């Protein structure tokens, strides 16, 4: 009987699995942003304070980025017309990569359609059978998928635990037959907890064992380092210590797209070997131009990064003083830890009613009893905005007996 049902509708599992997620309240219920991503915006037809966007510096609505986008459409059209290896390699794409490499103090850079495409497309090409990948246990899903696509063996070390990483490296060194290549991959800033990978210690250990270092700095760019140049700059590391620095334009840069920076050899290898780059249409001119404008803003308007950290310190101190648990965050990602998923969802719902848009992060995205509201600071928020949010958190935190 079951086989007969399956034969009638081989896609029935799609509905069943979704309905199972919905029953367990593990499905995403998408809200709709009606207008630009600004501190005060319209979400589901309600005016709310945006408190969960990755738009760290408020650049997605910056007049220079919008102007650059409009001019690019007028001069280059709406789309590129092809993948870059064929006919879609525009002068704007080339200019963007030159500007990015200069900004990153790297020999060369290469842009991808998304950060996810960079990880899933490049990681499997860097290693093969007979190689090994070492990964932090809390690495982002795009890293995990890239690792799964690779034919190399895998090893995982405890989150940011350098003693455990050293143990893993020593075991790998003793492996017989010897591995041909060792690739270590870590997030720079971990997106759920806001803590920072000890990249200086990682680089030192990897140098001792001859391992390549790959850092995903999606949440570090525009936040850490000199002028927002990211985690490699933050730790004052040289390019011979961190071989692949990956990032995105979809967070602090305020646009969309992924990228890698490093040696010219890395870039030459990547654009000849990575199928997500080779076989995907190139960015529309407006996107490339806006990314160039975002780099201009970071280089010439340091006040955005300064304001981001000013807001971050004020919010963290206020929440800690009130008795909220903000975990081990070291960055503008500030989790409000509540434990149970039902409490996190109720807190998020009540915050929205009070005019603050901040989403719950629950199991299985985080471990059981580690549910939280993940807030992300924004340079465009005023002190009055922050006080409004803090007042809402205080009112509902007492209501739900969180504080």
CATH of the domain at 172: 3.40.640.10
Question: Which is catalytic among the residues 62, 93, 104, 219?
Answer: 219
CB burial class (10 A; 0-12, 13-18, 19+) of residue 45?
A: exposed
Q: Are residues 324 and 355 in the same domain?
A: yes
220 located within any domain = yes
For residues 348 and 235, membership in a common domain is answered with no
Give me the residue label for tokens 């059981």.
368
361 occurs within a structural domain: yes
Residues 86, 227: one domain? yes
Q: What is the pLDDT of residue 5?
A: 55
pLDDT of residue 1: 52
Catalytic residue check, 191 = yes
- pLDDT score of 7: 62
Domain stop point among 263, 285, 300: 300
How many distinct structural domains can be found in the chain? 2
Does 9 map to a domain? Answer: no
Instruction: Assess whether 245 and 363 both reside in one domain.
Output: no
- The model's pTM is 0.94
**Do 81 and 145 share a domain, yes or no?**
yes
Instruction: Retrieve residue 46's tokens.
Output: 């309600």
Question: Can you tell me the distance from the alpha carbon of 359 to that of 361, in angstroms, rounded to the nearest whole number?
Answer: 7
Residue segments in the chain with a per-residue pLDDT below the cut of 70 = 1-7
Q: What's 340's domain CATH number? A: 3.90.1150.10
- 37 catalytic, yes or no? no
Cβ distance 161 to 169 under 8 Å? no
Structural domain span for residue 323:
26-55+302-399
Catalytic position from the list 251, 283, 307, 316: 251
Domain membership flag for residue 144: yes
Instruction: Exactly one of 191, 233, 261, 341 is catalytic; name it.
Output: 191
Q: What is the pLDDT of residues 148-164, one digit of tens each?
A: 999 999 999 999 999 99
- Regarding whether 273 and 249 lie in a shared domain, the answer is yes
Which residues are CB-contacts of 283 (< 8 A; sequence separation ≥ 6)?
Answer: 80, 93, 111, 113, 256, 257, 291
> Is 219 designated active site?
yes
Q: 300, 328, 347 — which closes off a domain?
A: 300
Instruction: Please write the tens of the pLDDT for every residue from 217-230.
Output: 999 999 999 999 99
């Amino acid at each position: 009987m079951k086989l007969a049902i399956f034969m009638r509708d081989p896609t029935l599992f799609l509905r069943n699995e979704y309905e199972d997620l919905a029953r367990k309240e593990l499905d995403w219920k998408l809200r709709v942003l009606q207008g630009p991503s600004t501190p005060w915006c319209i979400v589901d037809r309600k005016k709310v304070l945006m408190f969960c966007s990755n738009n760290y510096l408020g650049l997605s609505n910056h007049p220079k980025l919008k102007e650059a986008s409009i001019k690019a459409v007028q001069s280059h059209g709406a789309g590129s017309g092809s993948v870059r290896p064929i006919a879609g390699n525009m002068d704007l794409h080339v200019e963007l990569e030159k500007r990015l490499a200069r900004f990153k103090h790297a020999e060369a850079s290469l842009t991808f359609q998304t950060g996810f495409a960079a990880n899933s497309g490049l990681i499997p090409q860097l290693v093969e059978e007979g190689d090994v990948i070492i990964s932090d246990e809390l690495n982002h899903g795009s890293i995990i998928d890239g690792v799964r696509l690779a034919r190399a063996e895998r090893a995982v070390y405890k989150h940011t635990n350098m003693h455990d990483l050293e143990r893993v490296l020593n075991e790998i060194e003793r492996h017989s037959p010897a591995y041909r290549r060792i690739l270590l991959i870590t997030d720079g800033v971990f997106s759920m907890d806001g803590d920072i990978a000890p990249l200086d210690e990682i680089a030192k250990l990897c140098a001792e064992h001859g391992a390549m270092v790959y850092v995903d700095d999606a949440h570090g760019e525009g936040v850490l380092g000199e002028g927002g140049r990211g985690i490699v700059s933050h730790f004052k590391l040289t390019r011979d210590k961190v071989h692949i620095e990956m990032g995105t334009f979809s967070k602090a840069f305020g646009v969309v797209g992924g990228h890698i920076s490093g040696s010219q050899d890395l870039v030459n290898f990547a654009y000849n070997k990575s199928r997500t780059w080779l076989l995907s249409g190139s960015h529309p001119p407006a996107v490339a131009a806006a990314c160039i404008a975002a780099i201009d803003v970071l280089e010439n308007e340091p006040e955005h990064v300064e304001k981001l950290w000013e807001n971050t310190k004020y919010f963290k101190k206020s929440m800690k003083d009130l008795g909220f648990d903000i975990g081990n965050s070291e960055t503008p990602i500030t989790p409000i830890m509540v434990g149970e998923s039902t409490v996190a969802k109720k807190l998020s719902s009540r915050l929205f009613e009070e005019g603050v848009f901040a989403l719950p992060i629950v199991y299985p995205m985080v471990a059981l009893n580690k549910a939280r509201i993940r807030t992300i600071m924004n340079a465009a928020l005023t002190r009055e905005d922050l006080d409004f949010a803090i007042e809402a958190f205080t009112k509902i935190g007492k209501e739900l007996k969180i504080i």
